[in-house]
Amino acid sequence: MKIVVTGAAGFIGFHLSKRLLSDKHNVIGIDNLNDYYDPALKKARLEILEEHQNFQFKKTDLTEREAIDRIIKNHQTEVVINLAAQAGVRYSIENPEAYIQSNLV
């Protein structure tokens, strides 16, 4: 099965992608790799996922709707699992617009 996982470099997205890959699914991981959490950690997770031939990564923000639509169409995706979100409660008070765009729009 061809599955898109958004937030693939995050904690949950990474572990779900690993499991799907071990179950022989084709996974297209999407993440914007923002710097709220250490980007080096996200890149290290992606390096582990990229060891699988059935994994592809697309650095894309979910607000780039045309790019997301193109990825889903071009890969003939069967399932989309949306785990992308802006994390952190304190930061939401300082920058609510980032949460509105990432988690709602």
Cα–Cα distances in angstroms (integers) from residue 74 to residues 25, 46, 53, 77, in the given order: 17, 21, 18, 8
Q: CATH says 2-104 is which class?
A: alpha beta
**CA distance linking residue 93 with residue 78, whole number of Å:** 36
Tokens of 48: 């582990």
Query: Considering the entire predicted model, what is its pTM?
Result: 0.89
Determine the pLDDT at residue 59.
97
Domain definitions of the chain by residue range: 2-104
* pLDDT tens digits, one per residue of 13-68: 999 999 999 999 999 999 999 888 889 999 999 999 999 999 999 999 988 999 99
